[in-house]
Amino acid sequence: MLTVWEAIKIRRSIRKFAPDDIPDEMVEQVLEAARLAPSGSNRQPWCFLVVRDREARKELRRICLDQRFIEEAPVVIVCFGDLERYSPAARAKRRQEFMDSGVLATLSGRLANPEVRAAMDSAPAPSRQQLLTPLIANTYIAIEHLVLMATALGLGTCWVGAMSGELNRFFGLPDNLVPVAVIPLGYPAGEIPPQRPRLALEEILLKPPAQHKAEET
Ligand SMILES: Cc1cc2nc3c(=O)[nH]c(=O)nc-3n(C[C@H](O)[C@H](O)[C@H](O)COP(=O)(O)O)c2cc1C
């Protein structure tokens, strides 16, 4: 298996898949990588639907703006964020786990102050709209874990965010499950694409404010 660094360097968006099936153990391993991802307050909002059925993949292709490779891949993992993981009951459960596992004792700064935490806990419940940012951000982390594990196992993936709003209706899923991405999974076919361009380090590195000032004078 590749190291994390090797997988990060070698990963590409794969849009051509061989028809060969992939073993259940591999699917389980990529899901396990997703399961172990970190999340704010350990809410773990992600859930995954593993789709192997040809007809369902065909329908997924249609829902995802007719992107052909979605039907081609032997497995498609549909990734959702579950708003229920932010419910008061879920919050209470995670808080108890924090206490049971000794996490509270490791907190520092204002977060270590029980009064500050109590005030945070008693804040009004956020709206669905407000929850979408943490829900998507945290689910993205788990998805990228999954993608890198797939790469390390020699599988190809492609993040797919382009989709119409019909996923829940097609799978008969409730509204609390928010579709986040669709990940086709399979052995890459044909040539592995070259590395896509990336911004240079200088372009993504911000200068500390003091340095800006010094340059201005
Ligand atoms: C959130 C997200 C959504 C994306 N949605 C699509 C998509 O719908 N269709 C597609 O072909 N590629 C999609 N991509 C892949 C990007 O185009 C690709 O990651 C980018 O061009 C860099 O290429 P690379 O992944 O090969 O390094 C998506 C990537 C991300 C991270």
Does residue 161 have its Cβ closer than 6 Å to ligand 1? yes
pLDDT tens digits for range 106-145: 999 998 898 998 888 888 889 999 999 999 999 999 999 9
pLDDT tens digits for range 138-158: 999 999 999 999 999 999 999
Angular region, 102: left φ>0, alpha ψ -120 to 50, beta rest: left
Does residue 162 have its Cβ closer than 6 Å to ligand 1? yes
Given a cut of 70, the residues of the chain with pLDDT beneath it are 211-217
**Contact between residue 61 and residue 67 where contact means Cβ atoms under 8 Å apart:** yes
**Residue-averaged pLDDT of the chain:** 94
Predicted local distance difference test score (pLDDT) of residue 214: 62
Q: Whose CA is nearest to atom 29 of ligand 1?
A: 159
Which DSSP symbol is given to 106? G
Does residue 159 have its Cβ closer than 6 Å to ligand 1? yes
**Contact between residue 39 and residue 138 where contact means Cβ atoms under 8 Å apart:** yes
Rounded-to-integer distance, Cα 86 and Cα 97, Å? 15
- Give phi and psi for 72, each to the nearest 5: -65, -40
User: What letter represents residue 8's amino acid?
Assistant: I
Q: Ligand 1 pocket: which of 13, 195, 198 to mutate (most atoms <8 Å of CB)? A: 13
Assign 186 to helix, strand or coil. strand
Does residue 182 have its Cβ closer than 6 Å to ligand 1? no
Predicted local distance difference test score (pLDDT) of residue 74: 98
Predicted local distance difference test score (pLDDT) of residue 76: 98
Atom of ligand 1 nearest to the CA of 162: 8
Does residue 91 have its Cβ closer than 6 Å to ligand 1? no
Predicted local distance difference test score (pLDDT) of residue 115: 92
Predicted local distance difference test score (pLDDT) of residue 99: 87
Cβ neighbourhood burial of 44 (10 Å; 0-12, 13-18, 19+): buried
Rounded-to-integer distance, Cα 76 and Cα 168, Å? 15
The reported pTM is 0.94
Predicted local distance difference test score (pLDDT) of residue 213: 62
Residues in a beta bridge with 51: 76
